[in-house]
Amino acid sequence: MAKNLIYNAEIADLGLLIDDALIISDLHIGYEQSLNREGIMIPRFQYKMILERLQEIIKRSSVGKVIVNGDLKHEFGSITRQEWEEALNFIEFLQENFDDVILLKGNHDNFTKFIAGKTGLEVYETYSLGDFIIMHGDKIPEDIMVMEESTIIIGHEHPCIGIRNGERLEKIKCFIKGNYKKKNLVVMPSFNFVSEGSDILHEKPLSPFLKNRSTDEFGVYGVENFEVLYFGKIKDIITVKDRFY
């Protein structure tokens, strides 16, 4: 169905499908533990949810390859052994369920050496897939404009839109469809369940791909439990949304 396609990449819940490759981004495993360290005593709960959601995607589509577009682990540094194990278990889960696992570096990931040592996997800065170039999006490669691919796929931003009606506010995770200079740009939502992300209608963007420029013409594809809802362009939503307050 057309509405699930952004530049020919298919939205599959919070992931993006290009042929038989599934891209997921910003899992932030271990978020709860880092919250614990800040005094928010929430037990671990999202790891299980991430696995269940991935299994559901696998069940619905034929996927051979998985690409983790950065920030697999929320925090690296003085973390416990148990938290390391969770990250490794997750990679093991990916290796068991996909033929090929590609890891891309995010701004939270300083685990290159460690993962390479333990799993034999490499961690890449960018990954090319047909006409798509995939990267985390926390920085812009210098040679971006001479790359051959016409569409850039990034994560990092955790985009969502906040919709208010009366006293109720719900934030909906979304994909953003836009451009960067002459290239197409797709921003992916985060594949986690601890936070909805940052409201692109309201908050300033983080990624240098989006900073200091107008995103008015960008299209918004909301996603809620496999359902895709096209909301139109950012400028249009901003114009009409106050009418619902």
Q: What is the smallest separation between the CB atom of 145 and other proteins, expressed in angstroms?
A: 23
Give me the residues paired with residue 151 across strands: 132, 184
Q: How buried is residue 119: exposed, middle or buried, by Cβ count under 10 Å (0-12/13-18/19+)?
A: middle
Instruction: Give me the sign of the Cα torsion angle 142, 145, 149, 153.
Output: positive
Residues composing the chain: 245
**Which of 4, 110 has the CB closer to other proteins?**
4
In three-state secondary structure terms, 228 is strand
Report the interface residues with other proteins, using CB under 8 A.
Answer: 2-3, 5, 7-8, 31, 33-45, 82, 163, 165-170, 172, 177, 194-196, 202, 204, 219, 222, 224-225, 227, 229-233, 236-237, 239-245
**Which of 41, 146 has the CB closer to other proteins?**
41
Reading across the β-sheet that carries 15-18, which strands appear in turn? 5-6, 9-12, 15-18, 21-24, 65-69, 100-104, 123-124
- CB within 8 Å of 83: residues ≥ 6 apart: 30, 33, 73
Q: Which residue has the tokens 């362009």?
A: 233
Q: 29 with 204: CB under 8 angstroms? A: no
**Which of 142, 242 has the CB closer to other proteins?**
242
Q: What is the smallest separation between the CB atom of 163 and other proteins, expressed in angstroms?
A: 5
Q: What is the smallest separation between the CB atom of 118 and other proteins, expressed in angstroms?
A: 21
Q: What is the smallest separation between the CB atom of 116 and other proteins, expressed in angstroms?
A: 28
**Which of 45, 130 has the CB closer to other proteins?**
45
**Which of 80, 128 has the CB closer to other proteins?**
80
